[in-house]
Amino acid sequence: MHPIRLGLVGYGKIAQDQHVPAILANPQFELVAVATLGQPCPDVANFSSLAELLGTGPQVDAIAFCTPPQGRFALVQQALDAGKHVLVEKPPCSTLGEAMALVDDVETAGVTGLFAWHSRFAPGVQTAKDWLVGKTLKQVRVEWKEQVRKWHPGQTWIWQAGGLGVFDPGINALSIVTDLLPGSLFVESAALSVPDNCQSPIAADLKIRGAGPVEVLAEFDFDHSDNELWRIELHCEEGTLRLDSGGAQVSLDGVAQRVSEEGEYPAMYRYFAQLIADRQSDLDLQPLRIVADSFFVGSKQTVAAFHE
């Protein structure tokens, strides 16, 4: 079987650090073209736009999108109109309406689509899903606190309308929670802290209601300088399971558990290849809906201006 010929749109930090290494390490894919306005990707054909890549570049079967969510909708539509399979980085679009439209567009095009909630592929997530079977879940606590200057230096789009602010990393935690709790989740309250010079929050506290007595309490902080924390605790009557380092580590009642050493993005691309082979799609909207609901019902307070 020939490798899936892949084009990449956007060659920023996430593409350089995660996507390209995962693609190059997977024999199921061949990276043949990149569309970018920034520095070129080495050892591959580079183009200044997706239109140029599709019009004059090498033949591609699928396209992965790593651009900021603002403006991504139209780009993905271009790829779908050309009959290409699509992998779309999180969050898939800057609005829920655009993402919902893409779900319909993928089906109409008859291709494979994947909304790439990469944190769901952290090695500990499946361990947690398996452990939850038959357990009585009472509460989920999320602490997702990191330093934006470290992970997104100079990326001003994050603070603009549609950039999501702290929800850019926070949606990773929500993608795990919604995978572990597959039923509907509803935002009861959200407290959003918005810097004076930004349009998106730098911190947020959420209270989310799940099925039955389950509650989800989430604390997000994008200006956390010391002891960065990506933790989810599952409190059950039968014990407590904790995911640390974004799901890379698992402990059960304080005892570390063994997990796979495969990284999130290699696992995600392996899944994308399988979806293409099976002619299936995975276009879950629940993490983005929870973020949208948080903006909808959230109370907002203005805090000190953010500066790099």
Q: Which position has the token pair 């997104």?
A: 152
Query: Pick the residue with more confidence: 268 or 38?
Result: 268
Q: What is the mean pLDDT of residues 146-173?
A: 91
Q: What is the pLDDT of residue 163?
A: 85
Cα distance between residue 166 and residue 203, in whole Å: 6
Backbone angles phi, psi at 143, to 5 degrees: -130, 110
CB of 31 closer than 8 Å to CB of 19: no
CATH fold, domain 119-261+291-303, is Dihydrodipicolinate Reductase; domain 2 (3.30.360)
CB of 218 closer than 8 Å to CB of 206: yes
Q: Tell which residue, 217, 211, 243, 216, has the closest CA to residue 230.
A: 243
- Start-end ranges of CATH 3.30.360.10 in the chain? 119-261+291-303
Q: What is the pLDDT of residue 182?
A: 82
Kindly list the catalytic residues.
90
Instruction: Name the average pLDDT for the chain.
Output: 95
175: confidence class by pLDDT, cuts 50, 70, 90: very high
Q: What is the mean pLDDT of residues 81-88?
A: 98
- Start-end ranges of CATH 3.40.50.720 in the chain? 4-116
Kindly report whether the global pTM for this prediction surpasses the value 0.75. Answer: yes
Q: What is the pLDDT of residue 224?
A: 93
Q: What is the pLDDT of residue 229?
A: 94
Q: What is the pLDDT of residue 227?
A: 87
Query: Pick the residue with more confidence: 303 or 183?
Result: 303
CB of 24 closer than 8 Å to CB of 41: no
Exposed, middle or buried by CB within 10 Å (0-12, 13-18, 19+), for 305? exposed
3: confidence class by pLDDT, cuts 50, 70, 90: very high
Q: Is the pLDDT of residue 154 over 90?
A: no
Query: Pick the residue with more confidence: 141 or 157?
Result: 141
CATH fold, domain 4-116, is Rossmann fold (3.40.50)
Give the C-alpha distances (Å, rounded to integers) separating 252 from 30, 78, 97, 124, 223: 40, 46, 39, 11, 29
Q: Is the pLDDT of residue 162 over 90?
A: no
94: confidence class by pLDDT, cuts 50, 70, 90: confident
Q: Tell which residue, 102, 63, 100, 115, has the closest CA to residue 85.
A: 63
